[in-house]
Amino acid sequence: MDFKDKVVIVTGAGQGIGEGYARGLARLGCAVVVADINEAQGRRVAEAIGKAGGKALFAAVDVSSEASAQALARRAVDAFGGIDYLVNNAALFGSLEFNPLMSVDLGYLNKVIAVNMLGAVVMTRAVAPYLKRGAAIVNQSSTAAWMNIDYYSITKLAVNGITCVLARELGPKGIRVNAIAPGPTDTQALRDKVPQPYLDAMVAQMPLGRLGTPDDLLKALLFLLSDDADWVTGLVMNVDGGQLMRA
């Protein structure tokens, strides 16, 4: 897996799993565009990568906005000369309001859909014109996609479908599109959102008996981006400690 001098955009890279992706890819030689709507967090990650000897650029982005996504793509190309990979990680989760589907305000629901579901489409459309054969895109799904719990689940199930449709559309151009579906991963967002007794109950039912880490997910990401996966597209890969097994 040779990532030296590759250019990657990671959305939602200001914290949690996205930060782990950005730092890990930078350690392996990628020039990383740390894309996040939170300027303070995004700059923190980009500066940390730079201090560690890596190449990184912070770029503010609202993944629900076509204009913002297009400006981000242009900035990446201007800074690093091209784009090799796109990681569509950004989503509303830690700050998400979980309300019943029958009563949630439709304006709020449309906001969640615009970010968590359509953000991957908006970003891919903005970046695709700059991608060459051999490029790869990885979307962030979730095991919540199959749990039918709330509208977060719905958006992640839609990401799976979007991944497969984009894989079909972009395949003839030599661009691969896959997704990672993390199980419960030990991030601040998870701990802020999910009570400890519920986490303990989830872990107790998982075959591998522990929360995931951003590094667990990074290993899967590296495979899906690399040439080792050059005949893999349209795949939604569970990385979840066996939480949800799909035959």
Asked whether residue 193 is domain-assigned, the answer is no
- Domain residues for the domain of 52 are 7-184+214-239
> Which residues, in sequence order, are CB contacts of 163 under 8 Å at separation 6+?
120, 139, 141, 177, 178, 179, 234, 236
Q: What interhelical angle do 39-51 and 16-27 show, nearest 10?
A: 20
- The angle at the Cα of 135, spanning 224 to 55, to the nearest 5 degrees, equals 85
CATH number at residue 81: 3.40.50.720
Asked whether residue 246 is domain-assigned, the answer is no
Helix or strand run (H / E) with residue 5:
none
Cα gap 140→131, rounded to integer Å? 19
- Residue 33 near residue 57 (C-beta atoms within 8 A): yes
Domains: count for the chain:
1
Asked whether residue 1 is domain-assigned, the answer is no
228 pLDDT band, cuts 50/70/90, is: very high
- Residue 34 near residue 46 (C-beta atoms within 8 A): yes
Q: For residue 152, indicate whether it is catalytic.
A: yes
Asked whether residue 168 is domain-assigned, the answer is yes
Q: What is the dihedral of CA 42, 226, 190, 31, to 10 degrees?
A: -10
Q: What is the pLDDT of residue 98?
A: 86
- pTM for this entry: 0.96
Residue-wise pLDDT for 178-224, tens only, equals 999 999 999 988 888 888 998 999 999 999 999 999 999 999 999 99
Of 85, 130, 152, 198, catalytic: 152
Asked whether residue 200 is domain-assigned, the answer is no
